[in-house]
Structure 1
Amino acid sequence: MRAYYFDDEPTDQRLPHDSGEEVSLDTLSHLGVLYWSIPVGEGDSIPAGVDAIAKERGYKNRDTINVSKEGLGDAYETKIKGFFEEHMHEDEEIRYILSGSGYFDVRKHAAKQDDERWIRVLCEQGDLLVLPSGIYHRFTLDMNNKIKAARLFQDEPKWIPHNRGVETDVNSHRVNYLSTLPPIAVA
């Protein structure tokens, strides 16, 4: 895993978009983003370390998603566009990368919306990433165009994106998320 500020250049979303400004695990943690590195088991099996975290955090269900042209078929282009729309979920988003790689972009909250920046998180095989309920984020593949991930869920599997907008800004999960963040220093 590697995290850095997104450069906002208007080029292919699958490129690194590396601003050269690294982001620490502490910064991600302050945003509620959690990370573990756990080597994948033989044959893409879920290792005991992931099972232990799942049990500790109350993740009862899981499935596997293969985000690639082969894995998504005719839905590929539509899904990739949808994943890259800025959105939030009312549940945590938990992904354990079995193979391939891609980028999760998380929005760093700021006092003014114009000052919010994207933090790009490169996830590769063995990375376990937890995005908190209510955080604005998006996902894209990198230039390899494929990622296989286990998705973990606290309850029944669901993935309902709420695209950013006036209604989403006041969604109770978004408001609760913002209340967990450290105060923002205003200059």
Structure 2
Amino acid sequence: MSHLTVYLENDAHRPELSTADPALMTGHLAHNGILFERWAADVPLPASADGATVLAAYADPIERLKAARRYRTVDVVRVTPQTEGVADLRAKFLDEHTHDEDEARFFVEGAGAFHIHVSNRVFRVVCEAGDLLSVPAGTPHWFDMGRQPRFTTIRFFMLANGWVARPTGDSIAARFPPFETAAAKTA
């Protein structure tokens, strides 16, 4: 289930807010400049679906968002526990960083947790199938896919080279609890 937890940046143990209400999530995130929307993720995709198949299944909402937000390109990322180098891939995004453009993605399948560091707070947004999240350019954040990741996302880009992570050097991410997928909790 999609979920928002808001912490003071110096206290990862006592949340100020914890909610799964989509309207409250949308409003609270929008107040902080973060786009969160719920889309229908109701196209059944086989495990063997390639990026072109995923993009074709969601062509209409992709084109609407590209036009509305001036995104030029999209791609598809599918990560499972069997993905080659998955531990290194996870580690690559666990440190706080920024990008020169928005980080926007639509979750087609699975889940992951974004931690967004804004206004002396950390907004932990657990995204699942049907969630669109866009973190504004220059906003410090990190992404945790969990120890047993399983997700497919459509990523939206304004720049030809996509998101280039710029580490902030802040160790804040290490002070917050890791994201655990359902698969990791039962393992």
Given the two structures, how large is their TM-score scaled by the length of structure 1?
Answer: 0.71
**Code of the aligned partner of 1:80:** R
1:61 counterpart = 2:57: no
Unaligned runs of 5+ in 2: 46-53, 171-187
1:34-113 equivalences under 5 Å are 34-40=35-41, 41-43=43-45, 44=54, 45-71=57-83, 73-74=84-85, 76-109=86-119
- Following TM superposition, by how much is the alpha carbon of 1:47 offset from its aligned partner in structure 2, in angstroms? 5.0
Counterpart contact for 1:38–1:50, Cα < 8 Å: no
After superposition, the C-alpha distances for 1:7-47 in whole angstroms (9 at most, x for unaligned) are 625xxxxxxxx837236433311221101111123434215
d(CA) in 1 for partners of 2:78, 2:44? 18
Instruction: Specify the alignment match of 2:137 in structure 1.
Output: 133
d(CA) in 1 for partners of 2:93, 2:68? 28
Structure 2 residue corresponding to 1:160, chosen from 153, 164, 169: 164
The alignment-based identity, stated in percent, is: 23
Instruction: Specify the alignment match of 1:21 in structure 2.
Output: 17
d(CA) in 2 for partners of 1:158, 1:47? 20
After superposition, the C-alpha distances for 1:41-70 in whole angstroms (9 at most, x for unaligned) are 343421523321221111121111123332
Counterpart contact for 2:75–2:155, Cα < 8 Å: yes
Q: Please, which moves more after superposition, 58-67 or 43-52?
A: 43-52
Change (3 A) 1:20 1:145: farther
- Following TM superposition, by how much is the alpha carbon of 1:165 offset from its aligned partner in structure 2, in angstroms? 3.8
**Code of the aligned partner of 1:117:** R
d(CA) in 1 for partners of 2:82, 2:93? 17
d(CA) in 1 for partners of 2:16, 2:79? 28
**Code of the aligned partner of 2:60:** A
Structure 2 residue corresponding to 1:8, chosen from 2, 8, 12: 12
d(CA) in 1 for partners of 2:107, 2:15? 24
d(CA) in 2 for partners of 1:28, 1:105? 12
Instruction: Specify the alignment match of 1:123 in structure 2.
Output: 127
Counterpart contact for 1:102–1:140, Cα < 8 Å: yes
Counterpart contact for 2:96–2:169, Cα < 8 Å: no
d(CA) in 1 for partners of 2:135, 2:44? 26
Secondary structure of the 1:51 match is: helix
Count residues in correspondence. 150
Secondary structure of the 1:90 match is: coil
Given the two structures, how large is their TM-score scaled by the length of structure 2?
Answer: 0.71
